[in-house]
Structure 1
Amino acid sequence: MKLAIFDFDSTLMNGETIDLLAQANGSADAVQTITKEAMGGKMDFHQSLKLRVATLKGMPLTKVQEVCNSLKYNLGAKELIEELKARNYKIVVFSGGFDEGVSAGQKVLGYHIHFSNKLHHKDGILTGEVGGEMMFNYSKGRMTEKIQTLLNATYESTIAIGDGANDVSMFHCAKKKVAFCAKPILKEAANIVIDEKNLMLIAKHLD
């Protein structure tokens, strides 16, 4: 089984969902500072995620859904996924972001399954808390190993594509490690580096 694993924010999607939510909620400056430190590897992902989500406390869930239903995707995202499907890859998306965004992305881009985090809410209002499957720096690697076991996919048959520090763990499980318009810490761990914002440039590296 051939397996393609994508990060979502700033890889498939053009930008960071948390930044867009913060803009809609008036907490953009605080979130951008934390995001920059986290994606550059200067802050633990779990800590930074909790701090960023805390700034969204009080935001209506309807506004979250509105933002997520209008996300913009990077050039070549849909085309690359279609090419991977034609080559019999199973396509999985991991996101340290949120189910609302990644679920909206699945409808547009057509990947097979996704794993992400969940914004907690009560009575239609965000509580400022978050939980889920992608809470830690090691989460993507752990989940990659589980999916490889389930699908009988190997290190050699896996390609992983990401842009930030929390994508390093999934690179350990993939022969092809693609840093897409990535932070320096991920480029150092990659064996394929794409610096132009066009995901279809990855197609020439497929087997």
Structure 2
Amino acid sequence: MKYKLVAFDVDGTLISEQVWKRLHTHFGMEDDFNEKNITLYRQGKLTYSDWVKSDIDIWKKKGATKSLIKEGLKDVKLVDGAKELIQELKKMGYKLAIISGSLNVAIEHVFPDYEDYFDYIFLNKILFDDEGNIVDVESTKFDHEGKAAALAHIAKLEGLSLQECVFVGDNYNDVDIAKIAGLSIAFNCRDKNLAEVCDVIVNSNDMRNLLDYIHEA
């Protein structure tokens, strides 16, 4: 196999929606709330960790619990063909990774046994007590420009070159990792800058259509 490892984004890639935006709306936050924090982050006025924690703190103040978060995610689904693609890649012997700024509760909701398939998982984690109350959040170090560092870290652990790694994403925070992957695929791309740096652009309602690009003899 030319490629040995495949890493996936979550929101907009494995999941068709932007989970943070969906939950902001569910908990009654302003439509432009996320855009304001993105601007502050890009200006260096807000760290990624503080950004994640401030969002979760606001949800908590609005009464968020595990059950209410799940209620907000009830219509969120895995992209068609995503699980079948992942199962096939696993069967073929690929190492699989999630490198995302999404939330553990989201991927657990749409793909309950995801940990059985992915060898490496980097995303934000909300921690709950036995009653479902939010007790803490562990923010990932590997979103935005950090995604590239995550891929390089995994490749080193596996003894692979970056040219043997594939990344599949959809948005602006995937640009840096797309630049270093041996094969970068923009799946239903939402950002022109990502489209410019990716090797392949695939617009499809079935993720199984990526297999022919990934699996080269």
TM over 0.5: yes
User: 1:15 — aligned with what?
Assistant: 17
Give the 3 Å change call, closer, same or farther, for CA 179–87 of structure 1 in structure 2: same
Query: Is 1:137 matched up with 2:137?
Result: no
Within-5 A mapping of 1:65-144: 65-68=70-73, 71-107=76-112, 111-113=117-119, 114-119=121-126, 125-126=133-134, 130-134=137-141, 136-144=143-151
Question: For residues 72-97 of structure 1, what are the alpha-carbon distances to aligned partners after superposition, in whole Å with 9 as ceiling and x for unaligned?
Answer: 01121112112211321111112202
Secondary structure of the residue that 2:166 maps to in structure 1? strand
> Across the two proteins, how many residue pairs are aligned to each other?
203
Within-5 A mapping of 1:172-187: 172-182=179-189, 183-187=191-195
Question: What CA distance in whole angstroms lies between the structure 2 residues aligned with 1:135 and 1:150?
Answer: 16
Query: Is 1:56 matched up with 2:59?
Result: yes
Give the 3 Å change call, closer, same or farther, for CA 42–30 of structure 1 in structure 2: same
Question: For residues 141-195 of structure 1, what are the alpha-carbon distances to aligned partners after superposition, in whole Å with 9 as ceiling and x for unaligned?
Answer: 1111111111122222211000112112222331110011111111111010012
Question: For residues 36-65 of structure 1, what are the alpha-carbon distances to aligned partners after superposition, in whole Å with 9 as ceiling and x for unaligned?
Answer: x67xx9777938656654542422233124
Structure 2 residue identity aligned to 1:111: Y
Long gaps (5+) in structure 2: none
Question: What CA distance in whole angstroms lies between the structure 1 residues aligned with 2:105 and 2:160?
Answer: 28
Within-5 A mapping of 1:36-55: 46=48, 49=52, 52-53=55-56, 55=58
Q: CA deviation at 1:23?
A: 2.8
2:100 and 2:142 in contact (8 A); partners too: no
Long gaps (5+) in structure 1: none
Secondary structure of the residue that 1:177 maps to in structure 2? strand
Structure 1 residue identity aligned to 2:77: K
Question: What CA distance in whole angstroms lies between the structure 1 residues aligned with 2:184 and 2:72?
Answer: 30
Secondary structure of the residue that 1:9 maps to in structure 2? coil
Give the 3 Å change call, closer, same or farther, for CA 104–186 of structure 1 in structure 2: same
Q: What fraction of aligned residue pairs are identical, expressed as a percent?
A: 23
Question: What CA distance in whole angstroms lies between the structure 2 residues aligned with 1:148 and 1:22?
Answer: 34
Question: What CA distance in whole angstroms lies between the structure 2 residues aligned with 1:161 and 1:87?
Answer: 18
User: 1:167 — aligned with what?
Assistant: 174
Structure 2 residue identity aligned to 1:189: V
Question: What CA distance in whole angstroms lies between the structure 2 residues aligned with 1:194 and 1:144?
Answer: 21
Question: What CA distance in whole angstroms lies between the structure 2 residues aligned with 1:54 and 1:77?
Answer: 32
Q: CA deviation at 1:66?
A: 4.0
Q: Greater CA radius of gyration, 1 or 2?
A: 2
TM norm structure 1: 0.80
Structure 2 residue identity aligned to 1:194: V
- Indicate the larger mover: 174-183 or 111-120: 111-120
| Aligned partner of 2:161 among 154, 161, 164 | 154
1:140 and 1:167 in contact (8 A); partners too: yes
Question: For residues 106-129 of structure 1, what are the alpha-carbon distances to aligned partners after superposition, in whole Å with 9 as ceiling and x for unaligned?
Answer: 4255531421113467885558x8
| Aligned partner of 1:200 among 178, 197, 208 | 208
2:142 and 2:149 in contact (8 A); partners too: no
Query: Is 1:25 matched up with 2:33?
Result: no
Question: What CA distance in whole angstroms lies between the structure 2 residues aligned with 1:71 and 1:111?
Answer: 20
